[in-house]
Amino acid sequence: MRIAVLGTGAVGRALAGRLAELGHDVVVGTRDVAQTLDKGSKDGTDWSDFRLVTQADAGSHADVIVNATHGGASVEALTNAGPLDGKVIVDVANPLDFSRGFPPGLTTTAFDSLGEQIQRAFPGARIVKTLNTVTNQVMIHPDRVAGGDHTMFVCGNDLEAKAVAIGLLEQMGWRDIRDLGDLTNARGMEEYVVLWVRLYGALGTGDFNVKVVH
């Protein structure tokens, strides 16, 4: 599968590396390739194992786009990657608000979500929300926690797009995948991150997740 990951931070690099490891044709999209490489040479980020391209080239390459940008930059990055009609966009970003320091709040209200904002901005795209409720290493290796016996959520309006996203989750090792329904459920998934940050502070590690039992 041809996949573009938008986002050059730890989440984007983790997902791009894992998806390439699984045999997918993966590129990483950035606003400015030269600037990203220059920054990497200064902060020690090794891009030699990644195919780094512009966001526009990433969008034209991909059947599936993974949005791993900062929430506030997501719509701009996806605009640069357009046109997006018909494409599956797996949105793993969170609309974090650090304006009052740490721990962060959200830039959205309880009646909206970043996932829905992306869908409104790109009505012809097929948005699926998932993976935003765990840290990047648990995203790609769920067996880091309880041998993989914990829950990943997914939601979206398009059943075929959700099937694509669920297939990628299963390839990465996720077994307990709960489809919450349409994209309005991204509100709850994103709001959970406010609790996740506090759990991280209490536990001192990002290697945790929740398990739905009933």
The arithmetic mean of pLDDT across residues 125-140, rounded, is 98
Share of the chain above pLDDT 90, in %: 100
Q: What is the largest CA-CA distance in the chain?
A: 51
User: What pTM was computed for the model?
Assistant: 0.97
The arithmetic mean of pLDDT across residues 101-129, rounded, is 97
Distance between first and last Cα of the chain = 35
Identify the CATH homologous superfamily for domain 2-203.
NAD(P)-binding Rossmann-like Domain (3.40.50.720)
Place of tokens 């996932």: 115
**The two structure tokens encoding residue 83:** 């046109």
Core vs surface per residue 186-204: b (16+ CB within 10 A) or e? bbebbbbbeebbeeeeeee
Contact at 8 Å (CB) between 6 and 29?
Answer: yes
Query: What is the rounded distance in angstroms from the CA atom of residue 74 to the CA atom of residue 57?
Result: 16
Query: What is the rounded distance in angstroms from the CA atom of residue 156 to the CA atom of residue 115?
Result: 9
What pLDDT score was predicted for residue 144? Answer: 98
What pLDDT score was predicted for residue 178? Answer: 98
Candidates 195, 63, 198; CA nearest to 126 is: 63
pLDDT of 25-35, one tens digit each? Answer: 999 999 999 99
- Split at pLDDT 50, 70, 90, the class of 192 is very high
pLDDT of 38-70, one tens digit each? Answer: 999 999 999 999 999 999 999 999 999 999 999
- Split at pLDDT 50, 70, 90, the class of 135 is very high
